[in-house]
Amino acid sequence: SLDVESEKAVKDALGNLTYKPTIISIAHRLNPIRDSDAILVIDQGMVVEQGTPQQLMESPGRYYELVQQQQLTTV
């Protein structure tokens, strides 16, 4: 678990790479993953949604609910 400052440092470091690696990240706070190419939403051990942040926000589901709870804006 990273604090907000450490999350930002990791995100900045990854953003400065000259290549685009595949990164698998597990997050309870959604802010660090809002720029992801793809998100899988896992609830009770099952993948219940998948898509880009924009796609997941366009069809209210579990991701949409979590974003609303955390009051984030995506895309």
3-class DSSP state for residue 33? helix
H-helix segments, the chain: 4-15, 53-58, 62-70
Which residues, at least 6 apart from 32, have a Cβ–Cβ distance to it below 8 Å? 7, 10, 11, 25
* Cα(20)–Cα(22) distance, integer angstroms: 7
pLDDT (tens, 9 = 90+) of the chain, 75 residues, equals 788 888 888 888 888 888 888 888 888 888 878 888 999 999 999 999 999 999 999 988 999 999 998 885 544
